[in-house]
Amino acid sequence: MTEAENEHSTKRAEKPTHNTKRKEKIMLDLAIIGGGPAGLAAGLYATRGGLKNVVMFERGMPGGQITSSSEIENYPGVAQVLDGMSFMSPWNEQCMRFGLKHEMVGVERVSKNADGSFSVFVEGGAEQKAKCVIVCTGSAPRKAGFKGEAEFFGKGVSTCATCDGFFYKNKEVAVLGGGDTAIEEALYLANICAKVYLIHRRDEFRAAPTTLEKARQNAKIEFITSAVIDEAYGDESGLLGVKVRLKDGALRDLKVPGIFVFVGLDVRNEVLKQANGEFLCAMEQGGQVSVNLKMQTNVAGLFAAGDLRKDAPKQVVCAAADGAIAALSAISYVESLH
Ligand code: FAD
Ligand code: NAP
């Protein structure tokens, strides 16, 4: 929760009682929830566009999910291939220069008040009021649902190759999934590990053809397609292997100490859930926030941007553009209140 004081409170006519200055939390012009590419771009455009009190509530270090990626090579204008962390670090620095404040805390809920303002409730129960809110909470790795996945999560089952790949240097690992993340991270792991088994439930892949082709050309990657994981097994030391059910029904036992699960993402929309269990604004069936081209929800003053919104292409460049659009809409909204 922001500790910012009302800078005007000390200029009040009435004298403070008991010689103490009255502290009040200011009404923010804008609260941004989430500090990935969408939240940071929103912060940049909002502060540079003249909004005065803008706080980005981000529970961790700013940067978002791309910071777990081993490389990004498709952001226009950035020709150099960078790891996600190096790619995002200037974003934060640039925003802070224009006055964006970061509160490192998780938000539990955003609600709308009778006077039209919003309340942002953070972990621990504190409340911060804001004239408008942009929700940019993005998405998180989905669980595949095989036996043993939860039991060995963090003990051999991982969703971050950049974070955990090094633990399996010169060892064999498995990767599950057929999207861009699975194939890109399989390629990354092939640089470190002795061998990568790429397990996918179909023969066709969602991943970009060029990335797929690179993986097919990599001698260290073995494709096991039309196959599902029956079970991950191990002992108190961690994962010892995965049993893979093949197309013909046969079971293949891969004795790997690590499996990386990249089976898609679920949007993080919890902050919009109200005490009565309903969402604050209109949502899509899959849990994404319904927005128009201005990133407006159906609630005045509430915007959503990035992976969280309907039809998001789930790309950094798109999340950043959404954030900028949402900030411009927020500026117009605040102006309309005067
Ligand atoms: P996110 O990046 O998900 O950021 C959301 C932020 O909100 C997070 O930092 C989270 O901590 C915070 N948050 C969530 N809930 C709360 C809460 N309640 N309180 C406070 N903070 C909260 N895209 C590309 O364009 N090119 C690529 O090469 C590429 N590679 C990828 C590789 C991997 C491994 C992954 C996982 C994704 C990749 N993507 C890539 C996709 C890209 O990362 C996303 O589309 C983009 O990060 C979405 O940005 P966002 O700001 O909407 O959300
Ligand atoms: P994704 O594109 O949704 O792919 C998920 C993969 O996991 C699919 O192949 C799916 O199989 C498989 N899968 C889903 N549930 C499964 C289960 N329970 N068990 C086994 N397999 C399962 O997810 P993603 O790869 O994480 O990508 C998410 C988004 O980010 C995409 O839009 C992607 O383009 C984007 N992204 C982009 C880049 C880039 O631009 N370089 C990099 C990474 C991610 P099916 O195919 O059979 O459904």
Tokens 């498709």 locate to: 74
Mutate to test the pocket of ligand 2, among 66, 78, 157, 180 (most ligand atoms within 8 A of CB): 180
In 3D space, the residue among 250, 243, 286 whose CA is nearest the CA of residue 268 turns out to be: 286
pLDDT tens string for the chain (338 positions)? 343 333 333 333 333 334 434 455 789 999 999 999 999 999 999 999 999 999 999 999 999 999 988 788 889 999 998 999 999 999 999 999 999 999 999 999 999 999 999 999 999 989 999 999 999 999 999 999 999 999 999 899 999 898 889 999 999 999 999 999 999 999 999 999 999 999 999 999 999 999 999 999 999 999 999 999 999 999 999 999 999 999 999 999 999 999 999 999 999 999 999 999 999 999 999 899 999 999 999 999 999 999 999 999 888 999 999 999 999 999 999 999 98
Cα dihedral 164, 165, 168, 174 in deg (nearest 10): 100
One-letter amino acid at 94 equals Q
Name the token pair of 187: 């390629």
For the CA of 315, the nearest ligand: 1
Q: Which two tokens stand for residue 98?
A: 């224009």
Our answer to whether residue 164 is catalytic in this structure is yes
Q: To test ligand 1's pocket by mutation, which of 316, 317, 322, 325 has the most ligand atoms within 8 angstroms of CB? A: 316
Q: What is the mean pLDDT of the chain?
A: 92
- The Cα 184–Cα 164 span in angstroms is 15
Nearest to 259 by CA among 159, 188, 331: 159
Residue 11's pLDDT is what?
Answer: 34
What burial class does residue 275 get, using C-beta atoms within 10 Å of its C-beta: 0-12 exposed, 13-18 middle, 19+ buried? Answer: exposed
pLDDT the model gives residue 2: 40
Check if 248 is active-site.
no
pLDDT score recorded for residue 18: 41
18 and 116 Cβ atoms separated by less than 8 Å: no
Q: How many helices (H) and strands (E) does the chain have?
A: 6, 17
**DSSP structural state of residue 264:** -
pTM for this model (two decimals): 0.83
pLDDT digits (tens, 9 = 90+) for 318-333: 999 999 999 999 999 9
Q: What is the pLDDT of residue 24?
A: 58
Catalytic: which of 164, 180, 307, 322? Answer: 164
Q: Which ligand is nearest to the CA of 265?
A: 2
> Are 263 and 142 within 8 A, CB to CB?
yes
Ligand in closest contact with the CA of 87: 1
pLDDT value at residue 4: 39
Q: How far apart are the first and last CA of the chain?
A: 26
Q: What does the alpha-carbon distance between residue 159 and residue 262 come to, in Å, rounded to a whole number?
A: 6
Active site residue 281: no
Report residue 279 CA to chain centroid gap. Answer: 20
**Per residue, what are the HEC states of 141-210?**
ECCCCCECCCCCECCCEECCHHHHHHHHCCCEEEEECCCHHHHHHHHHHHCCCCEEEEECCCCCCCCCHH
pLDDT, residue 318, reads 96
CA distance 157 to 275: 34
Provide the β-strand partners of residue 224: 199
pLDDT tens readout for residues 63-107 = 999 998 878 888 999 999 899 999 999 999 999 999 999 999 999
* Binding site membership of 202 for ligand 2 (Cβ less than 6 Å): yes
Encoded tokens for 280: 């604050």
Task: Give the distance (Å) from ligand 1 centre to CA of residue 319.
Answer: 8
